[in-house]
Chains A and B, each alone.
Chain A
């Protein structure tokens, strides 16, 4: 099968305009004849639901949590990028496009990324109109900061709660449409399967998490905005309910999975401390603007940080990358932290941490200035660790944070299943092998507010769809499969808890397919994952019954899917014979241990097609063509 990205012809700057003009339109009066299912209420899902309903479509919106406002997007701290160039420091749509492409190590599609940069400015206008309380300058205009390895100040922020405020804006827009009767909301509903009729996506099967009822919902098109699968590692910065289930079920129905092994590790998280820890907390990257990263020069130096004189400290990022220093991109910062810890120079009780030190910034600017900038983050750190970062340096370590992989989509954000659209972190499209800070929020909102409303119309106008209702046999069949899986999980009654399996899978992936990878470790993981999966299906314990509120059952289903997906992830990592962005294969590195890309043979999106349980998936590649930028080696020296 030839993957058709449907990228429009013509110059980069004109592609989106031209495409919008060429897309077929639906008469406003006819829009109400179409039903659209949106799964997910994060930035991508909430914005899509609201906008599609404003246009006149009938929308049914689903999420796992008790309220759309609790989607994981709420947790984003740092900010959202746009190419407004308000500070006049040389930014432009072109530069935002270029930074994003380069930051992703040239493994994203040019046309998509350019469109993202174009739309970024409208997002800020839209959010301001909704009342998002972005930070302001004295004169009343919007304030910007620099963030995540960018040399211009293009990040808009609302204290350390940008994701929260953007999501509350989108949630408000969504609730307005619920009030207007154009969106029907289904909180505490989990999508457990996708339903195809005549090869088109025509609905979903869900479980009502309160009553346990398995239900079908039919529509003319399905939009997945179900977020990322970083939780596969057990410990990550993601909310606890994050999962791969919706996209994995779609994969099994024929949607191709793209770049599943591209996982971003965030350099500034609070380190792991114990076995029962359930999540890793991110410390905003903005801390790297003033904090200096260091470890002792000598391995095994157990002195308290403040007793180690400057001459015996190694400010390794400043030493190795003089022009970017502590602000190098995430993959570079993360890998270097791991390297110094592997040398035995890590700090803290586990030896897997480095210092992020504000001593010099406090000396330079005074405590008050630092408190103003980072007060809430310092408080959060102290709350979790019990240590005061004004007095002793913070300890940080990299953690799984974001996934660049997801379902493959074309320029219209449609998957290989006609009528199945995928938005936000759930798709693979805009970030390549590494994501720069403040760009996921931008992508989620671009997809939901400004892209899907056009492209879904093009699909619906150009496709002849039969009348399909929930009593169609395809729904009954899917419901049956879902119910069977649930009763199987409940009948095992083994001796290991779901979390125990999840923890083991996470540890295996972190060690063997994590921040840096080699073939031997990955081969080992490939052997062990099926064994663990087998044990899961023989020895897991899931208490309770299907017809009730049952959190362990929910979790068990998600872990079961993680156990299948993990194998594809490792397969994909093995397949890619290069290092790029966050995907670092130890066999491919430069003399000074930087990622060594192979543009000759690996300049593609790797995509996978499901062939049935127990069968090898088929590999397809979408070649990436760069007409407008030159592929250069990323260097931050």
Chain B
């Protein structure tokens, strides 16, 4: 049931990519525990604006845990302390009265800070652009039921396809690797018969793009899996590696 708590917020403020940035401290009183984390930031921002100050910039849209737009590091953990939860679906009832929260942007070489808690994650679109799809033109697709797929396979593909592209995995990884994200896409498409014809090409080009953009490699730290709001399994990284090795031996075309 609803009650109120008082919090100390230490928030990363950075005017733009070239600003050095610093932590600022705010005391926030009477926060209803029914609020979501982002609604708590809304309350802070309303107050700052009425005091004539600049509100804290943070990204968000659906506030339902599905668009992948929100995300900050709370007390050292991307998306905060609740397991399998995006920041927008984290509620204040999980925090204690008098607690201090340190709120920072997702940090990674490939994610430049735009302002305060907002970072540029377009590198993830770049990776998808390199091949994270099945090449099929519109029109003329075969009747859907001509390709039977076992429900187990469809379920496993769906487990991987559930990735929301939030980038928490990258932010949590000591190597800033995007391999959980890439592995999820590779797995989703490689598991399905429709994705097989270009599986090799896809694995090579996505992996290459990832390296080129400055993401690191997987060192088996498993931090990504621990913070992923969609609980994407690290076995997807194993599948990515397998697909990559298979492709490196079997695939000739110059990319």
Contact = CB atoms under 8 A, between A and B. Distances in A.
B22 to A, nearest CB: 18
B142 A70 contact: no
B132 A240 contact: no
B63 A239 contact: yes
Interface string B60-78: 1111111111000000000
A140 interface: yes
Contacts of B35: 274, 276-277
Contacts of B8: none
A54 interface: yes
Nearest to B195: A131
Contact of B138 (A51, A65, A138, A185): A51
Given A54-B138, A543-B54, A124 B67 contact: no
A59 to B, nearest CB: 13
Counting chain B CB atoms within 10 Å of each CB, the highest count among A128, A138, A210 belongs to: A128
Interface stretch (A336-344, A420-428, A545-553): A545-553
A67 B137 CA distance: 22
A164 B60 CA distance: 16
B21 interface: no
A67 B125 contact: yes
Contacts of B54: 543-544
A122 B15 CA distance: 49
Contact of A386 (B91, B137, B158, B192): B91
Contacts of A168: 161
A128 B195 CA distance: 11
A404 B27 CA distance: 44
Contact of A66 (B122, B134, B151): B122
A164 B66 contact: yes
Interface in A161-183: 161, 164-165, 168, 171-173, 175-176, 178-179
Nearest to A125: B141
Contact of B49 (A84, A171, A276, A497): A497
A142 B128 contact: no
A175 B63 contact: no
A1 interface: no
B223 to A, nearest CB: 23
Interface in A141-169: 141-143, 158-159, 161, 164-165, 168
A131 B38 contact: no
B29 to A, nearest CB: 13
Interface residues of B, number: 78
Interface string B87-124: 00101010000000000000000000011001011101
A351 interface: no
Contact of A65 (B69, B148, B149): B69
B194 interface: yes
Contacts of B145: 86, 141-142
Counting chain B CB atoms within 10 Å of each CB, the highest count among A137, A140, A273 belongs to: A140
B130 interface: yes
B128 A175 contact: yes
Contact of A543 (B52, B68, B134, B195): B52
Nearest to A273: B34
Contact of A84 (B89, B139, B144, B150): B144
A53 to B, nearest CB: 10
A239 B120 contact: no
B175 to A, nearest CB: 23
A74 B136 contact: no
Interface in A550-576: 551-552
B2 interface: yes
B201 to A, nearest CB: 12
A298 interface: no
Contacts of A69: 68, 125, 128, 165
Given A164-B66, A172-B132, A450-B138, A66 B121 contact: yes
Given A124-B144, A159-B158, A172-B128, A50 B138 contact: yes
B93 A386 contact: yes
B129 A65 contact: no
Contacts of B189: 131
Contacts of B52: 541, 543
B69 A549 contact: no
A320 interface: no
Contacts of A125: 141-144
A135 B129 contact: no
Given A74-B62, A140-B148, A239-B67, A551 B158 contact: no
A541 B48 CA distance: 11
B132 A175 contact: yes
Contacts of B150: 136, 138, 140
Nearest to A185: B125
B174 interface: no
Contact of B136 (A84, A129, A273): A129
B226 interface: no
A72 B61 contact: yes
A75 B67 contact: yes
B53 interface: yes
B130 A128 contact: no
B157 interface: yes
A612 interface: no
Contacts of A143: 151
B100 to A, nearest CB: 21
B154 A549 contact: no
B30 to A, nearest CB: 11
Interface string A78-89: 000000101000
A453 interface: yes
13 contacts: A54-B137, A66-B121, A122-B139, A125-B141, A136-B149, A164-B164, A165-B161, A168-B161, A241-B61, A277-B39, A278-B42, A543-B52, A549-B16
Task: Sort A-B residue pairs by CB-CB distance and give the 10 closest, nearest first.
Answer: A140-B148, A172-B133, A129-B141, A128-B144, A125-B141, A136-B151, A133-B157, A133-B158, A70-B67, A239-B61
Given A135-B151, A179-B131, 20 more contacts: A69-B128, A70-B62, A125-B141, A126-B139, A128-B147, A129-B136, A130-B136, A133-B161, A138-B150, A164-B66, A165-B158, A165-B161, A171-B128, A187-B125, A349-B2, A386-B34, A449-B139, A543-B52, A548-B15, A549-B57
Interface of B: 1-2, 15-16, 32, 34-36, 38-39, 42-43, 46, 49-50, 52-55, 57, 59-69, 85, 89, 91, 93, 114-115, 118, 120-122, 124-125, 128-139, 141-145, 147-151, 154-155, 157-158, 161-162, 164-165, 188-189, 192, 194-195
